[in-house]
Amino acid sequence: MSDDIRRRMFNEMEQKFVFDEARNAAYDYADRALERNVFPTDDALADLSRFEEELPKNSGNAMQILQQLHEYGSPATVAQIGGRYFGLVNGGVLPVTLAVRWLTDFWDQNTPLYLSSPIASRLEVITEAWLRDLFYLPESCVAGYVSGSSMATLCGLAAARQRNFERLGWDINSQGFSGAPKLHIVASRQAHGTVNKAIALLGFGTDNVDWVDADEQGRIRVDQVPQLDESSILILQAGNVNSGAFDDFNTLCSRAKKAGAWVHIDGAFGLWAAASKKLNHLTRGIEHADSWSFDGHKTLNTPYDSGVIICRHRDALVKALHAAGAYIVYSEERDGMLHTPEMSRRSRVFELWAALKYLGESGIDELVYGLHERALQFATELQQQGFEILNEVVFNQVLVACGDDQLTTATIAAIQRSGECWVGGTQWQQRSVIRVSVCSWATTAEDITRSVQAFIDARALAQDPAHNQDQ
Ligand SMILES: *Cc1c(COP(=O)(O)O)cnc(C)c1O
């Protein structure tokens, strides 16, 4: 690296002007994000062509890079920190967690080992205990901090695979699948796509799964769950990604426990119901499972890159995920990489810890229950306007239809174009439906009413496209 570039970078570190620039741009963004169109305008999308260029031959200017990103990048974002994004199950962001991310980004901690970051190691242990308390999980549970629920589910099922094979006298790590005894994987046809992905990545093959039908709300049908035994891995769901429905954990976890089967619960956004006094009837029985995957970045509203795997059997998780190398020095303290597939890893526990500490038990309850209340409001107001609500709104998800599939699809497109709010579509019981996910702390009662009006206007446009062209 030339002395010139290095000198400039020392200057950037010392003078802080690039960070001031970033901060000013971020504040400018935050000031507009609550009111702006949720999806980028056509002009903003067209401006993305300004990023098309060859890889620069020479070093650039940090200020110009930031300015370009703010001028043309900020308008081409989806306004997810505002209160009217109801598309993917996302979550907004708690201010304190953003601030913590800024500070801890300066720390630039790599967190595989205690020796690479004592502060991360300590907070991983403390946060693990808090999560156990919050969800009423047993003392033996350990947590791994991963990028999201996709990865957390992969880890949970890897631990299950490890343990179940071990009981059959098979070491999957060294022996692999060739000649292995068969494990019995049981999952709902309504399992999330990332569950199928984990099953595929782990080599089970999705064709070898005992798929079980779901009921009209999207819950696994208890009467259809097959006989389980010590080779079984039963995958359940807290929060169906469409309807928000919860499986019957109480019945199925105790049945699985008696049979010696492993239960994994995909609770990406729904596990947080356990932290709400008025909603924890939905998660009754989860404490009898073996592993749980969930996100910080959805319901809890931390920034992205925050998933958690909790596993009752530390040995199984560590055996499934551990790595060795002459230079890797494990310690008596917590070495995070033993609980995750990654080695180098950003210090994602800081934001999770901050969110829990900031909200506290009562604040988490209020956040989670508030999302439910807003979803109920959405459903009630839409119903009053003649929209059809297709699910029991038990949590934060609302499935909406207006007349036939064609009108529903056209209405979704018109809502998205309006910029007033953003919702996506899905298929539900062979129908095209609008899928609403309320998952940001920033969503107010006014946001819901304003969004309902956007639904009404969009439906009118969809019913009468000619009227649309006249305007
Ligand atoms: C979002 C989601 C996932 C995947 O989580 P990521 O954090 O996006 O990897 C898995 N299961 C359910 C039910 C989800 O809603």
How much distance in Å is there from the Cα of 91 to the middle of ligand 1? 12
- Is 88 a domain residue? no
89 falls within a domain: no
pLDDT given for residue 471 in this prediction: 45
Residues 168 and 261 in one domain: yes
Whether residue 94 is contained in a domain is answered as no
- Shared domain for 172 and 218, answered yes or no, is yes
Indicate the pTM of the whole model.
0.95
| 427 CA → ligand 1 middle, Å | 18
pLDDT at 259: 97
Positions in the chain short of pLDDT 50: 470-471
The answer to whether position 85 is within a domain reads no
Residue 242 Cα to ligand 1 middle (Å): 12
> Is 320 found in the same domain as 216?
yes
- 69 and 107: one domain? no
Q: Comparing C-alpha atoms, which of 237, 213, 215, 233 is closest to residue 224?
A: 213
Same domain, 299 and 410: no
CA distances from 34 to 74, 201, 374, 447 (A): 13, 39, 17, 10
Given this model, what pLDDT does residue 89 score? 83
Nearest CA to ligand 1 atom 12: 268
Give the number of the atom of ligand 1 that is nearest the alpha carbon of residue 153: 10
Q: Based on C-alpha coordinates, what's the Rg of the chain?
A: 24
Domain count, the chain: 3
The answer to whether position 87 is within a domain reads no
| Dist. CA 471 → ligand 1 center (Å) | 40
List the helix and strand counts (H, then E) for the chain: 15, 11
Which of the listed residues 298, 332, 356 is the one where a domain comes to its end?
A: 356
In ligand 1, which atom is closest to the CA atom of 269?
15
Give the pairing type, strands 388-389 and 397-401: antiparallel
Same structural domain, 345 and 330: yes
CATH for 157: 3.40.640.10
DSSP assignment, residue 255? H
- Indicate if 325 and 222 belong to the same structural domain: yes
Asked if 442 and 379 sit in the same domain, the reply is yes
Residues 379 and 339 in one domain: no
User: Which pair of structure tokens corresponds to residue 267?
Assistant: 């609770």
Q: What pLDDT sits at residue 15?
A: 95
Ligand 1 atom closest to Cα of residue 151: 9
Probe target for ligand 1 pocket from 80, 190, 194, with the most ligand atoms within 8 Å of CB: 194
Are 212 and 263 members of one domain?
Answer: yes
- Looking at residue 470, what is its pLDDT? 46
Q: Is 239 in the pocket of ligand 1 (CB under 6 A)?
A: yes
The residue among 76, 110, 138 that closes a domain is: 76
Burial annotation 107-143 (CB, 10 A radius, 16+ → b, else e): eebbbbbbebbeebbebbbebbebbbebbebeeebbb
Instruction: Please tell me if the CB atom of residue 156 comes closer than 6 angstroms to any atom of ligand 1.
Output: no
| Same domain membership, residue 277 and residue 202 | yes
Give 150 Cα–ligand 1 centroid separation in angstroms.
6
Decide: 446 and 453 in contact? Cβ < 8 Å. Answer: no
Q: Are residues 261 and 114 in the same domain?
A: yes
Residue 86 forms part of a structural domain? no
Domain boundary among 356, 371, 390: 356
Indicate if ligand 1 lies below 6 Å from the C-beta of 148: yes
In a domain, 124, yes or no: yes
> With a 6 A CB cut-off, is 232 part of the ligand 1 pocket?
no
The model's pLDDT over 4-19, given as tens digits with 9 standing for 90+, comes to 999 999 999 999 999 9
**Rounded CA separation 11/381 (Å):** 56
CATH of the domain at 463: 3.90.1150.10
The answer to whether the CB of 269 is under 6 A from ligand 1 is yes
Helix (H, G, I), strand (E, B) or coil at 239: coil
Domain that holds residue 424: 361-470
Does residue 266's CB lie within 6 angstroms of at least one atom of ligand 1? Answer: yes
Q: Edge-to-edge strand order for the sheet containing 262-266?
A: 142-146, 307-311, 291-295, 262-266, 232-237, 184-188, 210-212
pLDDT, tens digit, 9 for 90 and up, residues 106-127:
999 999 999 989 999 999 999 9
Shortest-distance atom of ligand 1 to CA 88: 1
- Alpha helices, DSSP H, located in 168-214: 172-175, 193-201
- CB-side neighbour CA atoms (13 Å) of 443: 35
**Does residue 91 sit within a domain?**
no
> What per-residue confidence (pLDDT) applies to 379?
98
Instruction: Say if ligand 1 is within 6 A of residue 306 CB.
Output: no
